[in-house]
Amino acid sequence: MNELNLTTAWRDPEVARGLLARIERTVAGYRGEMTLMEVCGTHTMAIYQHGIRALLPETIRLISGPGCPVCVTPVDYVDHAVALVRRPDTIITTFGDMVRVPGSSSSLLHEQARGAQIRIVYSPLDAVALAARNPDKQVVFLGVGFETTTPTVAGAILVAEKQGLTNFSVLGSHKTMPAPMAALTNDPELQVDGYICPAHVSTIIGVNAYRPLVEQCRVPCVVTGFEPLDMLRGIEMLARQVVEGRAEVENEYSRVVKPDGNPKARRILETVFEPCDATWRGIGTIPGSGLKIRTEYADYNAIRKLPVSVEKPVEHTGCQCGEILKGKVRPGDCPLFRTACTPENPVGACMVSSEGTCAAEYKYGNIS
């Protein structure tokens, strides 16, 4: 059997109708509204892509949290990348979305139009290969992402070390889950009744990673897959926990996510990276929520290796990305949405990234 057929199997309309009816029954009689937050950009996209929000009973309110790695990256990181690529000997390599994120006064896309060398890659190993082919250039990979991609960045550094490359480095802004979920649960202005926990991140960190959060914050968590039937099942499991007053970690995506995640990937990650405090756009600094390159691998850390002067960061006035990332504001409530801020001319990262809440609302949300 072609394993790719699995995507179709998880979109069956009959089963979807059954799950929607079950959700209705689960929340029937529940007083008030329950707020469920997804903290993964792919979930944000899936909710819009399949039109899930409008299919749910009014009791359930879905909000998007800080799950898009590009969106939570602070503006000074973009400024740093811009400063690096202005060095004549430097090639910046990155996953696609980062090039369009506006910095304080420029973006990588603008720099590219002015002649800077920027390459989109699908894997950090492509950046290592590029460094091997260009020994007279410094090749910097923009390491932005959660635990899903960080092991591959760690792997790339180990490969570069093995090959003896001295012209490959990483500008890191790696973040981890579930630290921001605890921060948001403790935010008095925000009432999150349950988390749709990320799928890809959980394949690495495992279901057990959410246990301390659940125990400390008493908030229901369900690790959920990306296909529409996964989403509906995950939402039903969460709603049931809320209705029954339970707070547990459950795993809807057990066909992929294991209790202990992927220990091998974590070992590779921990060889190269160590925990650090990290700044999340819109949320601020969360202790222990980031990963930095260990001093043993400082030769592969662009911050240490290629010093540049970075302009003072300027956040764009009026942009509500920060509040949107906390789920406090919906894209339509931002005065810039669809007017000053569009995918062609994005003001904030939430409109740039293909996983951003504003981009999703812009792309799929105009249905009323």
Partner 1 sequence: MNPDIILLGHGSGGKLSHQLLDDIIIPALSGVAPEQQNDAAVLPAVDGELAFTTDSYVVDPIFFPGGNIGDLAVNGTVNDLAMAGAEPVAISVGLILEEGLAITELRKVLESMRQAADAAGVKIVTGDTKVVPRGKGDKIFINTAGIGRIPAGRKIGGNAAKPGDKVLINGAIGDHGMAVLASREGLELNSDIETDSAALNDLVEALFTACGEDLHVLRDPTRGGVATTLREIAGQSRVDITLDETALPIHESVRGACAILGLDPLFVANEGKLLAIVTADRAEPALQAMRRHPAGGEAAIIGEVSAVSSGRVLMRTTIGGLRAIEMLAGEQLPRIC
Contacts with partner 1 by CB under 8 A lie at: 2, 4-5, 7-8, 11-13, 16-17, 20, 48-55, 100, 121-122, 126, 228-229, 232, 342-344, 354, 362-367
Q: Taking the complex as a whole, how short is the minimal distance between the CB of residue 7 and partner 1, in angstroms?
A: 6
Q: Taking the complex as a whole, how short is the minimal distance between the CB of residue 257 and partner 1, in angstroms?
A: 18
Q: Taking the complex as a whole, how short is the minimal distance between the CB of residue 112 and partner 1, in angstroms?
A: 12
Q: Taking the complex as a whole, how short is the minimal distance between the CB of residue 291 and partner 1, in angstroms?
A: 23
Nearer CB in complex with partner 1: 20/190: 20
Nearer CB in complex with partner 1: 41/261: 41
Q: Taking the complex as a whole, how short is the minimal distance between the CB of residue 93 and partner 1, in angstroms?
A: 11
Amino acid at 200: H
Nearer CB in complex with partner 1: 30/364: 364
Q: Taking the complex as a whole, how short is the minimal distance between the CB of residue 265 and partner 1, in angstroms?
A: 18
Please state, as a whole number, how many other Cβ atoms lie within 10 Å of the Cβ of residue 200.
19
Nearer CB in complex with partner 1: 51/307: 51
Q: Taking the complex as a whole, how short is the minimal distance between the CB of residue 261 and partner 1, in angstroms?
A: 21
Give a three-class secondary structure readout of the chain. Answer: CCHHHHHHHCCCHHHHHHHHHHHHHHHCCCCCCEEEEECCHHHHHHHHHCCCHHHCCCCEEEEECCCCCCCCCCHHHHHHHHHHHCCCCEEEEECHHHHHCCCCCCCHHHHHHCCCEEEECCCHHHHHHHHHHCCCCEEEEEEEECCCCHHHHHHHHHHHHHCCCCCEEEEEEEECCCHHHHHHHCCCCCCCCEEEECCHHHHHHCHHHHHHHHHHHCCCEEECCCCHHHHHHHHHHHHHHHHHCCCCEEECCCCCCCCCCCHHHHHHHHHHEEEEEEEECCCEEEEEEEEEECHHHHHHEHHHHCCCCCCCCCCCCCCCHHHHHCCCCCHHHCCCECCCECCCCCCCHHHHCCCCHHHHHHHHCCCC
Q: Taking the complex as a whole, how short is the minimal distance between the CB of residue 263 and partner 1, in angstroms?
A: 24
Nearer CB in complex with partner 1: 100/326: 100
335 touches 317 (CB < 8 A): no
Nearer CB in complex with partner 1: 51/212: 51
Nearer CB in complex with partner 1: 8/295: 8
Nearer CB in complex with partner 1: 49/104: 49
